Amino acid sequence: MKIQQLLEHHGIARNPFAEEDAQTDPVFKDYCIDNSYHPTWDKIFGDPAEPATAIVFGEKGAGKTAMRLQIARRLEEYNAAHPDGRLYVIHYDDFNHYLDTFRDKVGPRRRPEKLLSEWKLWDHMDAVLALGVTGLIDRVLEVSQPSVSAGSPVDRRMVSKLEHHQARDLLLLAAYYDQSMAETFRARWRRLRKRLHYRTWLAHWDLALGVVWTMAAVAAVIWIFATMPGESFSPLLLYLLLALAFVLAGWAPWTWRFLRRHWLARKIARRVRTGNRQAHVLRRVLMNFAAADLADQPFPAKDRTDDRYELLMKFQSILQTLGFKGIVVLVDRVDEPHLINGSPKLMRALVWPMLDNKFLKHPGLGLKLMLPIELTQFLEREDAEFYQRARLDKQNTVRSLEWTGQALYDVTNARIKACAADGAAPTLRDLFAPGLSDERLIEALRSLRVPRAAFKCLYRMLVTHCNAHTDMNPAWQISPETFESVLAVYHREQEAFDRGLGAG
């Protein structure tokens, strides 16, 4: 007997339990994303008018990624309804690039534990700014395939409202953080400069001075050669030395600026440990700014957060002019980077620097952290200093993304409804024989704890049932015996996995 044969009999057009990852689940994205919410949804989502931080701990399969996608969808709807008060959304959920770059700069041969002990809050801030700045520049330049990790559409008319200092700030942020690979960095930066109508010719006065002085010195030497008798060698040598000194003096301002910009570029390239900007490329861009435009500006050139906070506020000021009143950062999948490889200790080393109340409560910034449940074991061991710094009591913390049997029952029915054929109204109850009570079905779902486990177990029940019957002699409902036997096997596997995970 085929599964599709059974599903079609009950008016179900496609298998509602085949997918396991919300990121690639069409049933969830097409239907359930708008009507299947966890009971703690309101606490986590909050009020978009005042973006706030929320920290969520959940098991694998509890719906953390699904909730991140739901938050992103609801924020899209909010932005569409509030064009003058939109939120800029950043998906901080792929750490591989930043961790690889960090490892290359800090120590390619270090063990992961030693390496991640060097990871700090400013590394997170650099990565978030890189995502946000890259996404914004994609929209300002109207590239054909903008970044999906950050950003919302930007009105061209709003870009023209950026003041001179904001255009400078965006160009500097681009110099530090733009990570686009669609074109060369310098070509993209020049396009952005032209789009912002930012003039840089005043910055090159010293270059013009050097050229003019050099031409004057050459002209003087030629005139001396033409007018001086050939036997006057000693005065001619003296004139040449004077001309050389004259040329060097003319190039001294440009040389001094070149050395200062190069030294600054080297420090920035070294300190932005999550970026891949090379010092000589960054120096060429910094040479386009006049000294007055760089005076008293923050640079990410030191191992500290102070400069990053100032750069973040500059980024927020630019966004506010473009119609974004706040930023929401969605943090997810911290257990998936290959350097982490699911290790709770390594996840702790990566996440804990972010748990800083000053960062989590930064004005106009809301972080939604979807974290694995394994990290809660470390919370119980932390000292008073950690809790004073993190202030988890103020961060809308959900210690466990738990599901009741009734909630899982509703989510399961929502998926079945999403897969129903036209005119049909199937339910989960229809798939099981009358001998299985509703109370037992809900209790079984509760024991499975999370949606992914419930869907996997139900899928296995469908397979086991269909394998036990032929096409010629089908059975249209799963018997209580099949239900209990498959559930028992799944529980044993689940318990074995939990023991192995705990030992790890």
Take residue 341 and report the two structure tokens written for it: 């490889």
Q: Is residue 291 part of a domain?
A: no
pLDDT in the model for residue 212: 86
168, 230: one domain: no
**In Å, what is the CA distance from 21 to each residue of 304, 420, 474?**
37, 21, 31
Spatial contact of 322 and 151, defined as CB atoms under 8 Å apart: no
Q: Is residue 289 part of a domain?
A: no
> Is the full-model pTM beyond 0.85?
yes
Residue-number span of the structural domain to which 341 is assigned: 39-198+300-398
264, 321: one domain: no
**How far, in Å, CA of 336 to CA of 343, rounded?**
9
**How far, in Å, CA of 361 to CA of 351, rounded?**
16
152, 259: one domain: no
Give the model confidence (pLDDT) of 238-288 as tens digits: 777 787 888 888 888 899 999 999 999 999 999 999 999 999 999 999 999
Note down pLDDT in tens along the chain; length 504 residues.
899 999 999 999 999 998 888 888 888 988 888 888 998 999 999 999 999 999 999 999 999 999 999 999 999 999 999 998 999 999 999 999 999 999 999 988 899 999 999 999 999 999 999 999 999 999 999 998 999 898 788 888 899 999 999 999 999 999 999 999 889 999 999 999 999 999 888 778 888 888 887 888 888 877 777 776 655 556 767 777 787 888 888 888 899 999 999 999 999 999 999 999 999 999 999 999 999 899 999 999 999 999 999 999 999 999 999 999 999 999 999 999 999 999 999 999 999 999 999 999 999 999 999 999 999 999 989 999 999 999 999 999 999 999 999 999 999 999 999 999 999 999 999 999 999 999 999 999 999 999 999 999 999 999 999 999 998 899 999 999 999 999 999 999 988 877 764 433
**Phi and psi at residue 150, to the nearest 5°:** -160, 150
Half-sphere exposure of 410 (CA within 13 A, CB side): 9
Where among 378, 398, 418 does a domain terminate? 398
> 367 Cβ partners below 8 Å, 6+ apart?
53, 54, 328, 329, 331, 354, 359, 360
Residue type, 278: Q
**In Å, what is the CA distance from 254 to each residue of 215, 244, 257, 453, 459?**
16, 16, 5, 66, 71
313, 253: one domain: no
Q: Is residue 424 part of a domain?
A: yes
113, 62: one domain: yes
> 339 Cβ partners below 8 Å, 6+ apart?
96, 99, 100, 103, 112, 115, 116, 346
441, 481: one domain: yes
Take residue 237 and report the two structure tokens written for it: 């040598």
62, 193: one domain: yes
Q: Is residue 67 part of a domain?
A: yes
336, 431: one domain: no
Give the model confidence (pLDDT) of 217-235 as tens digits: 888 877 777 776 655 556 7
**How far, in Å, CA of 137 to CA of 173, rounded?**
10
437, 376: one domain: no
Q: Is residue 479 part of a domain?
A: yes
354, 491: one domain: no
**Phi and psi at residue 367, to the nearest 5°:** -105, 135
Q: Distance between alpha carbon 313 and the CA centroid of its chain, in Å?
A: 18
pLDDT in the model for residue 504: 33
Mapped onto helix, strand or coil, the DSSP state of residue 462 is: helix
**How far, in Å, CA of 109 to CA of 74, rounded?**
43
Q: For the chain, what is the domain count? A: 3
Take residue 67 and report the two structure tokens written for it: 């909730």
Where among 366, 398, 430 does a domain terminate? 398
Where among 398, 421, 448 does a domain terminate? 398
Cα–Cα nearest to 100, from 265, 273, 317, 290: 273
**How far, in Å, CA of 273 to CA of 168, rounded?**
23
Spatial contact of 413 and 17, defined as CB atoms under 8 Å apart: no
206, 109: one domain: no
**How far, in Å, CA of 311 to CA of 313, rounded?**
5
322, 186: one domain: yes
